[in-house]
Amino acid sequence: MSWLDQITAIEALEDAAFDPALVAAMEARGSLIKDRAIRFSTPTFKEYDSAEVKGCGKNSFPAFSITGGACALDCDHCQAKILEPMISAIKPEILDQKVRDLIMLQDLQGFLLSGGSNRRNEIRYERFYPVIEGLKRDFPHLKIAIHTALTDEAGAKRMEAAGVDTAMMDVIGSEDTIRDVYHLDRPVEDFEATLAALTSTSMDISPHIVVGLHYGELRGEQRALDIVSRYPTKALVLVVIMPFYAKPGTFKTPATADVGKIFLQARETLPDRQLLLGCARPAGMHKRVTDAYAVMAGLDGIAFPAEGVVGVSQAIGRSYHQEHACCSIKIGGDLGTGVKLRSCAA
Ligand code: SF4
């Protein structure tokens, strides 16, 4: 039975529309991805449960925003809404206290540090680094991830010196998208320079590419993949534009076949890199089809996986496991730091 026949027999996907030529192209590369186990990540900063994969329910990996809900860039696709569900920590001492409380009360394993940016797409973390140093000194097991935005060599070194474990940034491969969507007067080269600066440190680097960032159209994704291919990053996180954060009527939802094509291009451009499908992507049947393409294209991880992914993994013979952490942070293994981590505080 072909992959298409098998996956459309899965109950959660029986009404799904797949591109037969794209599924056939993925099946043709099946032998190259068969032995890649896939990780289903279910971090706790969002309620989650599915018939196949259970949520954690404990606050073991929250996200903090050092600007609360504020952002000066106000990109068309986000309008700072991505900050709203994050825990506000606008002063270093507030971050310190909230993290220590969560460690004591909920056995916190790690957290994501983020925030809104200035007009040059930079986030002012300097005041928070002494707190990070103190938390890492007092709780060596703590894993700290950070959204870097644009930075330079000195900025990257400062993050590393503070003890940040994983650094994440968006890589944009189109000048038009930077200018129109981000309202930002900086070239694609500045995004590449940030990646170069980050990969010159010992931090784990997880760049993100937003598929369909140009108002739902594909523009610059392959150039962004080529940029990532030039630097030794731990992983690449792919997310898909979600119009409901955007100004009404300005974005269309990317076609699932377009998203699937970018997954295949990513796997071909980065054959040995960890490819992860991050939290942000359209919901419903779009998510089920997108996640099925992610499994068939050979991605290595999916955050908050849709119904049907276990069935697709079993149908094409890929093994899988679950972890309650940010998809860019590996928990349950030995990170070469000698610190053994549990998958959930429960
Ligand atoms: S994507 Fe980042 S920089 Fe853009 S509006 Fe959202 S929080 Fe601000």
Q: Which domains does the chain have, with CATH numbers?
A: 55-300 (3.20.20.70)
Tell me which of 30-44, 146-160, 273-287 is least confident. 30-44
Measured in Å, residue 82 CA sits from the centre of ligand 1 at 7
Output the pLDDT for position 340.
Answer: 39
Ligand 1 atom 4 nearest Cα: 75
Ligand 1 atom 6 nearest Cα: 80
Pocket test for ligand 1, best of 64, 65, 67, 83 (most atoms within 8 A of CB): 83
Q: Which atom belonging to ligand 1 lies closest to the Cα atom of 83?
A: 7
Mean pLDDT of 294-309: 96
Mean pLDDT of 205-222: 97
- Ligand 1 pocket residues where CB is under 6 Å: 71, 73-75, 78, 80, 82-83, 116-117
Measured in Å, residue 37 CA sits from the centre of ligand 1 at 33
Pocket test for ligand 1, best of 67, 117, 250 (most atoms within 8 A of CB): 117
**The pTM is what?**
0.89
Pocket test for ligand 1, best of 67, 74, 151, 250 (most atoms within 8 A of CB): 74
The predicted-structure confidence for 318-339, as pLDDT tens digits, reads as follows 999 987 666 555 444 443 433 3
Output the pLDDT for position 345.
Answer: 37
Mean pLDDT of 86-100: 97
Measured in Å, residue 69 CA sits from the centre of ligand 1 at 10
The predicted-structure confidence for 118-148, as pLDDT tens digits, reads as follows 999 999 999 999 999 999 999 999 999 999 9
Q: How confident is the model at residue 344 (pLDDT cuts 50, 70, 90)?
A: very low
Measured in Å, residue 42 CA sits from the centre of ligand 1 at 23
Measured in Å, residue 77 CA sits from the centre of ligand 1 at 8
Pocket test for ligand 1, best of 75, 148, 191, 244 (most atoms within 8 A of CB): 75
Mean pLDDT of 145-158: 97
Measured in Å, residue 117 CA sits from the centre of ligand 1 at 7
Q: Which atom belonging to ligand 1 lies closest to the Cα atom of 72?
A: 8
CA distance 51 to 216: 30
Mean pLDDT of 231-257: 92
The predicted-structure confidence for 161-209, as pLDDT tens digits, reads as follows 999 999 999 999 999 999 999 999 999 999 999 999 999 999 999 999 9
Pocket test for ligand 1, best of 78, 81, 177 (most atoms within 8 A of CB): 78
Measured in Å, residue 9 CA sits from the centre of ligand 1 at 40
The yes-or-no verdict on residue 313 having pLDDT over 60 is: yes
